Amino acid sequence: MIEKMTLQPTTGLRGDIRPPGDKSISHRSVMIGAIAEGVTEIDNFLSGEDCLATIRAFENMGVRVDGIGTSSIRVHGAGLDGLQEPGDVLDMGNSGTSMRLISGILAGQPFYSVLTGDSSLRSRPMNRIAEPLRLMGAQVYGRKGDMAPLTIVGGSLNPISYKTHVASAQIKSCILLAGLFVDGETTVIEPAESRDHTERMLRGFGAEVISQDLERKVKGRPKMSGHKITVPGDISSAAYFLAAAVLCRDSEVVIRNVGINPTRAGLLEALKAMGAQISLENYREESGEPVADLYASSSQLKGADFSGGLIVRMLDEIPLLAMASTQADGETKIRDAAELRVKETDRIAATVSELRKLGAQIEELDDGMIIAGGSKLEGGECESHGDHRMAMSLAVAGLISGEGTTIHNVTCVNTSFPGFWEMLSSL
């Protein structure tokens, strides 16, 4: 177990790397594979803590999974009606995606299940999924404010048409997955477009999902067949190397096989708007998802304002973007990002407090932050708050700090990126 890590100022990063498989797509490949007919073979699966929690949950419901712990797994689908009541509480660890998406599937099951997680997950809002699932007819019980542990007794569900209060792929996917168990059509309407991996993958398995503007409709009781899925590299993991290449002097890095789904690739748009030298080559499609190789090199950034739909497309990368903005010419303003407050930690408060410790000038807003450019990050001691994305963003900050940076509590990196430190050293 790695408790703390010290990063020294670095220039001249060079390398040709492949980030691990996409976390969101890995989760979905197991979940949908588990309720499809036949075997789903998954390559480049992300064997991080979060996705392993998803596998364990389905094993507890009688689904056989071969190759656990490797990046090539096989899920033996139980079909829409083949899951068994779990004999124990399902522990989702730190993974909000596991808890919220699996809840949708459990709402369709005529049995009793209880879901829990670590202290971070037990303090995150679950009313956002409990409310629509109750409207569909499932019984969902949680602690005050519908926090986990959650108990779900599902069964026969009604079709609903539901407008979500926030743009969230986890809420949308929860409802669409529950909709698979409904006789009829289930509709979700979002205020802005969130990542669409669930829609793409459901179609790949043979389900019918209709997308029109911000509305998604799924037809219930589809015939879904297992097949081979190759998971693209995770753009959220690639992001740290992209930022490192842009920020460290004399650097040039190639990051291969990165998923560039437009609902996920907001960071590329944002960094390019700030003047980063990033190019995309070798465009292709892998299991219904667009993929490319990214070339990034040292660049002088300029400050910019970010808000609206772009925020949703780069939500997990905002702590990193804020860190990069400290090196820009001029001020950067990030708004409409209040969702960051209910992630693995409050990522607005954590980004502001940790970057300040390293010497940044940064102001906290209710729904974002204002970052003064041109700050020299002196470095020093900082803390991940148990949040993998904070830990990795601070690691990149360490590379551009004046005197090196020690990050405490970095074991959490394993939730999404087990080989992160080795890949960083390889540059």
Note the residues at the interface with ligand S3P (CB under 6 A).
24, 97, 168-170, 173, 194-195, 315-316, 339
Q: Are 290 and 259 in contact (CB under 8 A)?
A: yes
Pairwise CA distance, residues 234 & 293, whole Å: 12
DSSP β-bridge partners for residue 150: 115
Nearest distance, CB of residue 96 and ligand S3P, angstroms: 6
Question: What residues contact residue 319 under an 8 Å CB cut-off, 6+ apart?
Answer: 340, 347, 350, 351, 389, 390, 393
**Largest CA-CA distance found in the chain, in angstroms, rounded:** 62
Q: Which is nearer to ligand S3P, 253 or 413 (CB)?
A: 413
DSSP string spanning 62-103?
A: T-EEESTTSSEEEEEEE-TT-----SS-EE-TT-HHHHHHHH
Q: Are 12 and 251 in contact (CB under 8 A)?
A: yes
Instruction: Name the strand (E) or helix (H) holding 106.
Output: helix 96-107
Q: Which is nearer to ligand S3P, 219 or 313 (CB)?
A: 313
Pairwise CA distance, residues 142 & 162, whole Å: 21
Which position has the token pair 């507890």? 60
**Angle (CA) 257 317 397, round 5°:** 100
Structure tokens at 136: 């569909």
Is 16 catalytic? The answer is no
Q: Which is nearer to ligand S3P, 24 or 401 (CB)?
A: 24
Which letter, b or e, does each residue of 376-392 get, where b requires 16 or more Cβ atoms within 10 Å of its Cβ? ebebeebbbbbbbbbbb
Q: Which is nearer to ligand S3P, 315 or 362 (CB)?
A: 315
Question: What residues contact residue 179 under an 8 Å CB cut-off, 6+ apart?
Answer: 157, 159, 185, 186, 218, 220
Q: Are 310 and 266 in contact (CB under 8 A)?
A: yes
Q: Which is nearer to ligand S3P, 196 or 293 (CB)?
A: 196
CA-closest candidate to residue 278, choices 263, 294, 262, 300: 294
DSSP string spanning 263-331?
A: TTTHHHHHHHHTT-EEEEEEEEEETTEEEEEEEEE----B--EE-THHHHHTGGGHHHHHHHHTTSBS-
Q: Which of 16, 316, 366, 387 is catalytic?
A: 316
**Three-state secondary-structure class, residue 367:** coil
Pairwise CA distance, residues 18 & 419, whole Å: 11
Q: Which is nearer to ligand S3P, 76 or 128 (CB)?
A: 128
Q: Which is nearer to ligand S3P, 202 or 427 (CB)?
A: 202
Residue 374 region by backbone torsions, left for phi larger than 0, else alpha for psi between -120 and 50, else beta: left
Nearest distance, CB of residue 128 and ligand S3P, angstroms: 8
Which position has the token pair 């997955």? 177
Q: Which is nearer to ligand S3P, 357 or 388 (CB)?
A: 388
Q: Are 104 and 176 in contact (CB under 8 A)?
A: yes
Give the number of C-alpha atoms closer than 13 A to the C-alpha of residue 81, restricted to the C-beta side: 6
Q: Which is nearer to ligand S3P, 194 or 287 (CB)?
A: 194
* Catalytic residue annotation: 316
